[in-house]
Amino acid sequence: MTTLFGLPIQAISGQLLIGLINGSFYALLSLGLAIIFGLLRVINFAHGTQYMLGAVTAWLLLTVLNIGFWPSLVLAPLIVAVAGLLIERLFLRYLYGLDHLYSLLLTFGLALMIEGLMRDGFGAAGKPYSPPALLTGVVNLGFMILPIYRGFVVVASLIACLSVWLLIEKTKLGAYLRAATENSGLVQAFGVNVPKLLTFTYMLGAGLAALAGVLAAPIYQVSPLMGSNLIIIVFAVVVVGGMGSIMGAIVTGYALGLLEGLTKVFYPQASSIVIFVVMAIVLLVRPAGLFGREA
């Protein structure tokens, strides 16, 4: 068996793949957080909840309405985005003029409520969700066996991240978003309906989180608690990357996922804290974050 640093290469590539998959979720989630924070100045604590809701919605669509993975990949994010619309219209909108901490506390409270209700109704135990038939099975890449679905997750999240990047960097709507991030008053004075733009942005971020949740459903078990610790890791990712740059959020997400995977190979005990350690180091060396402009 081939080895690297005394470890079988199979094991290393296996952990790297897991790292890459986790990184895909970190990237999608921190991207959404960064977009929401950029424009709304809201730290969306409900982001992990929206990820969970994506997975749970897909599971419910399957079990209750017999709607499969592919339609769910679109439907579940849309449904969660509509829930996001309600949150923005009913609550967040009234907090924009206040200290940012209030919106953090509000979304924290909503996250607790939604997770508590789901746990009550859905049960804390994880539920399995099978990948679609098209993506089951494995391919042998020579140096490792790749389950097709896992490869798909990496590709799908890359496509989603790049699409969002293109949307923001290359379209008219993206130009509005970038401009409003700098000076939303002036963008309004030009006749752009910024309140609507804010709602849309929150929906986009929530939808991205839900997309990550649907993608995660066949890999992890679907459970009401799947997002609650994840959100804190994603916060650390965001502190490391700095929220000033969309690309920064994406790259940092993948990089930290990989690093976490590598840590699992070489020093498993530290794998759950390695991202926080990186965050501490970045705070010492470059407090504004790797890609950050201090907000």
Partner 1 sequence: MTEPHPLPHLQVRGLNGWYGESHVLHGVDIDVHEGETVTLLGRNGAGKTSTLRAITGLLKKREGVIKLKGRDLIGLPTYQAARAGIAYVPEERGIFAGLSVAENLTLPPKVAEGGMSVAEIYRLFPNLEERRNSQGTKLSGGEQQMLAMARVLRNGARLLLLDEPTEGLAPVIVQRIGEVLRTLKASGMTILLVEQNFRFARKVADRFYVMEHGRVVDHLTAAEVPDRLASLQTQLGV
Partner 2 sequence: MSIATSTPLKTANDALGIGHLVGRALIVLALLALIAAPLAVYPVFLIKILCFALFAAAFNLLVGYVGLLSFGHAAFFGGAAYITAHTVKEWGFTPELGILAGVAFAATLGLVMGFLAIRRQGIYFAMVTLALSQMVYFVFLQAPFTHSEDGIQSVPQGLLFGIIDLSKPLPLYYTVLGAFLLGMVLIWRVVNSPFGNILAAIRENEPRAISLGYEVNRYKLAAFVISAALAGLAGAVKAIAFQLASLVDVTWQMSGEVILMTLLGGIGTLLGPVVGAALVTAMEHYFAATSIPAPVLIGGCFVACVMLFRRGIVGEIRHRLKARSSR
Which residues would be at the binding site for partner 1 (CB under 8 A)?
Answer: 172, 175-176, 178-179, 181-183, 185-195
The least distance separating partner 1 from the CB of residue 39, rounded to whole angstroms, comes to 12
Query: Of 64, 77, 59, 71, whose CA–CA distance to 129 is shortest?
Result: 59
Question: Taking CB within 5 to 8 Å according to partner kind, which of partner 1, partner 2, none is near residue 138?
Answer: none
Query: Of 204, 184, 202, whose CA–CA distance to 193 is shortest?
Result: 184
The least distance separating partner 1 from the CB of residue 103, rounded to whole angstroms, comes to 20
The least distance separating partner 2 from the CB of residue 156, rounded to whole angstroms, comes to 27
The residue among 143 and 267 lying less far from partner 2, judged by its C-beta, is 267
The residue among 112 and 167 lying less far from partner 2, judged by its C-beta, is 112
Query: Of 114, 102, 109, 94, whose CA–CA distance to 42 is shortest?
Result: 102
The least distance separating partner 1 from the CB of residue 247, rounded to whole angstroms, comes to 13
Question: Taking CB within 5 to 8 Å according to partner kind, which of partner 2, partner 1, none is near residue 239?
Answer: partner 2
The least distance separating partner 2 from the CB of residue 164, rounded to whole angstroms, comes to 22
d(CA 173, CA 166): 11
Residue type, 256: L
Question: Taking CB within 5 to 8 Å according to partner kind, which of partner 1, partner 2, none is near residue 181?
Answer: partner 1
Q: How far is CA 239 from the centre of its chain?
A: 14
Quick check: 29 and 209 in contact, CB under 8 A? yes
Question: Taking CB within 5 to 8 Å according to partner kind, which of partner 1, partner 2, none is near residue 192?
Answer: partner 1
The residue among 104 and 179 lying less far from partner 1, judged by its C-beta, is 179
Q: Give me 172's structure tokens.
A: 């008219």
Max distance between CA atoms of the chain, in angstroms, equals 66
Query: Of 7, 28, 20, whose CA–CA distance to 204 is shortest?
Result: 28
Question: Taking CB within 5 to 8 Å according to partner kind, which of partner 2, partner 1, none is near residue 114?
Answer: partner 2
**Chain residues that interact with partner 2, rule: CB under 8 A:** 37, 41, 43, 91, 94-95, 98-102, 104-106, 108-117, 119-120, 229, 232-233, 235-236, 238-239, 269, 272-273, 276-277, 279-280, 283-284, 287, 295
Burial class, 189, CB count within 10 angstroms (exposed 0-12 / middle 13-18 / buried 19+): exposed
The residue among 204 and 256 lying less far from partner 2, judged by its C-beta, is 256
Assign 185 to helix, strand or coil: helix
Side-chain half-sphere of 61: how many Cα atoms within 13 Å? 22
The residue among 104 and 192 lying less far from partner 2, judged by its C-beta, is 104
Q: What is the CA radius of gyration of the chain?
A: 19
d(CA 30, CA 52): 15
The residue among 142 and 191 lying less far from partner 1, judged by its C-beta, is 191
The residue among 190 and 267 lying less far from partner 1, judged by its C-beta, is 190
